[in-house]
Amino acid sequence: PAARSLSRFRGALLGALLGDCLGSDFEGHYPLPAARVVRFLRSVEEAQREPGFLLYTDDTAMTRGLVRSLLSTPAFDEVDMAKRFAEDYKKDPDRGYGMSVVVVFEKLLSSECSDVFEPARKQFDGKGSYGNGAAMRAVGIPLAYPHVADMKKFTEISAKLTHTCSLGYNGAILQALAVHYALQGQLDRDEYLDKLIGHMKEVEGNEKSLADARELDLLDFPFSCRLQKIREFLQRGQVSKEDVIAELGNGIAALQSVPTAIYSFLRCMELDSDIPAHYNNLQRTIIYCISLGGDTDTIATMAGAIAGAYYGEEQIPVVWKQSCEDFAETEVAAEDLYKLYCKRLEST
């Protein structure tokens, strides 16, 4: 598809939905053979079930809240967005939300809350969450803001409504950048990584990011280091799942999942001997992410968003899409975001 075309917007939101709906059955599992994932996908493809039978989890619930807020307010409005997150949780609390983020929602729902960032700041004794909950919903921001500086700024603000440890919000910025550059058209893997590393060196270079990394016994510039590791893995070619999990992670922290999603997308540009060749690149990306085990819904939703932004809706299989809850609403939201993006692009 052409750069920044409607197909890519639909691909990004539908890819995110597919990753969550297909990945959630395996969340918390050990790594599993791709053949086992393929068997599950066949059962989905052959199921004689009503459309939308695969339910989405918190990943999509929060993406929907974020997107509805971006579409409903003329300018970015953190109070509106926080309210939507909390009210969506109250209406439907059993979507598998993170264990601690629910405390943020309860506080946001209280009439005593006057600063929407305060509840998140109080998490983990004032250290803030480094979970991947801000990254998993970040796809909406690069679909609404064409300019990279705005996109980074609003990703950070929206992330801080729930995640105030820099490892949490910097992970969201990285995920948003990954979608942003995937939307721009044909990419070279090295140049793509160069762009991400260039931004992350700046994003991770401030005092708070350096202090948070040291507090957690991490090297300085942890996301940039993992992006370098991705480059090394891609150059090496044959990399085992054990190495990917050991070096990039498959966990619930943003640092253990956002780089893994980016690696999965870049790795699955090529065929994989474990995955039947008739699956397209986007399908291969989702299968690969699920086969890593761990935080499968979230890694697959983030990789699905990036792959969908790159390959467009042409690679979204109709039967997979129609299995997912609220796929039709997702398509409408993607069209509305596309119009907003084009309007913002024209007005500058």
Q: Note the residues at the interface with ligand F2R (CB under 6 A).
A: 27, 57-59, 96-101, 124, 127, 129-133, 136, 165, 252, 295, 297-298
CB nearer to Mg ion: pick between 21 and 183: 21
* Binding partner of residue 131 among Mg ion, ligand F2R, none, CB cut-off 5 to 8 Å per kind: ligand F2R
Structure tokens, 213: 């990394």
- Specify burial of residue 5 (Cβ count, 10 A radius: 0-12, 13-18, 19+): middle
CB nearer to Mg ion: pick between 135 and 268: 135
Sequence-distant contacts of 239-245: CB under 8 A, at least 24 apart: 239/267, 241/31, 241/291, 241/292, 242/31, 244/292, 245/31, 245/292, 245/293, 245/294
CB nearer to ligand F2R: pick between 95 and 241: 95
- Cβ atoms of 100 and 124 within 8 Å: the answer is yes
What is the CA 345 to chain-centroid distance, rounded? 23
Distance in Å, CB of 209 to ligand F2R, minimum? 14
Distance in Å, CB of 301 to ligand F2R, minimum? 8
CB nearer to ligand F2R: pick between 183 and 252: 252
Distance in Å, CB of 2 to ligand F2R, minimum? 33
CB nearer to ligand F2R: pick between 140 and 312: 140
- Cβ atoms of 334 and 289 within 8 Å: the answer is no
* Binding partner of residue 132 among ligand F2R, Mg ion, none, CB cut-off 5 to 8 Å per kind: ligand F2R
- Cβ atoms of 161 and 120 within 8 Å: the answer is yes
Structure tokens, 52: 């939308």
* Binding partner of residue 261 among Mg ion, ligand F2R, none, CB cut-off 5 to 8 Å per kind: none
CB nearer to ligand F2R: pick between 275 and 300: 300
Binding site for Mg ion (CB under 5 A): 57-59, 96, 295, 297-298
Distance in Å, CB of 159 to Mg ion, minimum? 16
Give the single-character DSSP code of 294. Answer: S
Give the single-character DSSP code of 287. Answer: H
Distance in Å, CB of 248 to ligand F2R, minimum? 16
Give the other-Cβ count within 10 Å of 6's Cβ. 18
Distance in Å, CB of 101 to ligand F2R, minimum? 4
Angle between helices 189-203 and 258-267 (to 10 degrees): 170
CB nearer to Mg ion: pick between 297 and 331: 297
- Cβ atoms of 275 and 241 within 8 Å: the answer is no
Distance in Å, CB of 58 to Mg ion, minimum? 4
* Binding partner of residue 204 among ligand F2R, Mg ion, none, CB cut-off 5 to 8 Å per kind: none
